[in-house]
Amino acid sequence: MTDGEVIEPPLDGAGLSVGIVAARFNEFFTTHLLRACRRELRRHGVADEDVIVAWVPGAMELPITARELIASRDVDAVVCLGCIIRGETTHYDHVAQESARGIARAALDTGTPVIYGVVTAETLAQAVDRSGSRAGNRGGDAALAAIEMARVLAAVRQGRPVVPAAEL
Ligand code: INI
């Protein structure tokens, strides 16, 4: 028996244009996420001049900025980088929930991948672990997810006749 179609394109970023939105809140951590994100994009072939970075105040501002980048800059994917630490805020749950929900909605509403590269941590130690030490770097992981999703969605769309939404 043979498989049907399997879509798993190589992780090749050449020619892709990627937006990065980085939250300045907890900047100590988000600069590490941004550095790893840019490094992984470069390592996988995304040209530096095809990357646009927008800094925003905090994780709550990530979704709207991702949407606007998609609307105005013709990017193939957007990576959202942030760091939310429970120990540092009483409204952790609101910020964490709303930024995650907004990022998911931005992707679904626009059809462009919007990657959740947000560290959510109970403690400063956990944030350290996830921003470039024991538990890896969420920013680097998000870069790979952006390339993979841009390629997968492009491949999926190639097999689909373009029909106006109203006729579906
Ligand atoms: N923003 C973050 O990115 N991380 C946090 O941990 C955080 N805390 O702790 O509140 C945070 N708050 C700011 C929020 O994202 C907005 O920027 C602000 O409320 C203005 O809309």
Q: What is the pLDDT of residues 98-118, one digit of tens each?
A: 999 999 999 999 999 999 999
- pLDDT tier for residue 82 given thresholds of 50, 70 and 90: very high
Helix orientation angle between 27-43 and 138-158, rounded to the nearest 10 degrees: 50
Residues 103-120 as b or e (16 or more Cβ within 10 Å = b)? beebbeeeebbbbbbbbb
Token couple for 151 = 């390629």
pLDDT of residue 22: 98
- pLDDT tier for residue 150 given thresholds of 50, 70 and 90: very high
Q: Is the pLDDT of residue 79 over 60?
A: yes
Tell me how long the chain is: 168
How far apart CA 79 and CA 161 sit, in angstroms, is 28
Closest atom of ligand 1 to 30 CA is 3
The CA 53 to ligand 1 mean position distance, Å, reads 19
pLDDT tens for 17-67 read: 999 999 999 999 999 999 999 999 999 999 999 999 999 999 999 999 999
Q: Is the pLDDT of residue 163 over 70?
A: no
In degrees and rounded to multiples of 5, residue 27 shows phi and psi of -55, -30
CATH number for the domain whose boundaries are 27-156: 3.40.50.960
Residue with CA closest to ligand 1 atom 21? 60
Residue with CA closest to ligand 1 atom 4? 84
Closest atom of ligand 1 to 23 CA is 3
Token couple for 7 = 């879509």
Pocket of ligand 1 (CB under 6 A): 23, 25-26, 57-61, 82-85, 88-89, 91, 95
The CA 108 to ligand 1 mean position distance, Å, reads 23
37, 142 in Cβ contact below 8 A?
yes
Q: Is the pLDDT of residue 162 over 80?
A: no
Closest atom of ligand 1 to 56 CA is 17
Extents of the domains making up the chain:
27-156
Helix (H) or strand (E) holding 73: helix 62-73
DSSP category for residue 133: E
* Average pLDDT value for the chain: 92
- pLDDT tier for residue 94 given thresholds of 50, 70 and 90: very high
The CA 81 to ligand 1 mean position distance, Å, reads 12
The CA 39 to ligand 1 mean position distance, Å, reads 26
Q: What is the mean pLDDT of residues 138-163?
A: 90
Active site residue 91: yes
